[in-house]
């Protein structure tokens, strides 16, 4: 099943916003540091991806009660939910000129359905979108950078009514951003994320 960009306007996958805030100096400095000495597009994407995957923790894995969602805050506090980490990855790559979008999966966790966020990145040298999951490789998860085959954190199972949404969105899901922004702690955010009434159809 092919990935489907939400729009053919590639500039939308390079845009900044309140959430994708690459005007932030810490974001810019980090992006520049990660890109030093790298002249190959694929190596650049891999390096930035592995930084977010390995150096930015998943909030649940470290039992943090704090909710982050704006890219600069995710970088500052070094953790976020899957959505927040995808915001940071997109922000760093967009600042470096790499078109990056957002993808989602509906998954079952502890018998509850919830949304999972990841990224899609356009590699110009091979004219191809690939998905990358920067959630973090804890608890047996083994997401990897790969061009030929996807190695994501999760593989949705049809028998569980899980869904792999293949649309590449230019902006983060507005409901997700609203939930993260309004939640007072991680428990409240997760309760709302696992509310099937609003999940993508």
- State the pTM of this model: 0.96
CA distance linking residue 198 with residue 46, whole number of Å: 33
Q: How high is the pLDDT of residue 201?
A: 57
* Cβ neighbours, 10 Å, residue 92: 26
Name the residue with tokens 């009660």.
Answer: 65
Residue 93 three-state SS: helix
**Domain edges within the chain:** 4-193
Structure tokens at 96: 């470096």
* Nearest partner of 120 among 134, 108, 131, 135, judged by Cα: 131
Tens digits of pLDDT across the chain (201 residues): 689 999 999 999 999 999 999 999 999 999 999 999 999 999 999 999 999 999 999 999 999 999 999 999 999 999 999 999 999 999 999 999 999 999 999 999 888 899 999 999 999 999 999 999 999 998 899 999 999 999 999 999 999 999 999 999 999 999 999 999 999 999 999 999 887 677 775
User: Domain 4-193 carries which CATH code?
Assistant: 3.10.620.30
**Residue 119, CA atoms < 13 Å, CB-side half-sphere:** 35
Q: How high is the pLDDT of residue 1?
A: 66
């Amino acid at each position: 099943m092919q990935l489907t960009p939400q729009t053919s306007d590639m500039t939308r996958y390079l845009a900044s916003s309140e959430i994708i805030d690459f005007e932030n100096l810490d974001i810019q400095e980090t992006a520049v540091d990660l890109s030093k000495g790298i002249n190959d597009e694929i190596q650049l994407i891999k390096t930035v991806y592995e930084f977010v995957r390995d150096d930015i923790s998943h909030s649940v894995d470290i039992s943090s009660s704090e909710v982050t969602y704006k890219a600069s805050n995710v970088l500052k506090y070094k953790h976020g939910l899957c959505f927040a980490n995808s915001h940071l990855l997109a922000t760093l790559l967009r600042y470096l000129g790499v078109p990056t979008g957002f993808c989602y999966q509906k998954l079952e966790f502890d018998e509850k359905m919830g949304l999972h966020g990841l990224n899609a990145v356009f590699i110009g040298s091979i004219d191809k979108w690939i998905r990358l999951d920067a959630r973090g490789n804890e608890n047996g998860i083994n997401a990897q950078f790969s061009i030929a085959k996807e190695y994501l954190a999760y593989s949705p199972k049809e028998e569980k009514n899980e869904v792999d949404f293949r649309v590449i969105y230019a902006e983060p899901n507005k409901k997700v951003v609203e939930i993260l922004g309004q939640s007072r702690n991680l428990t409240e955010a997760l309760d709302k994320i696992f509310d099937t009434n609003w999940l993508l159809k």
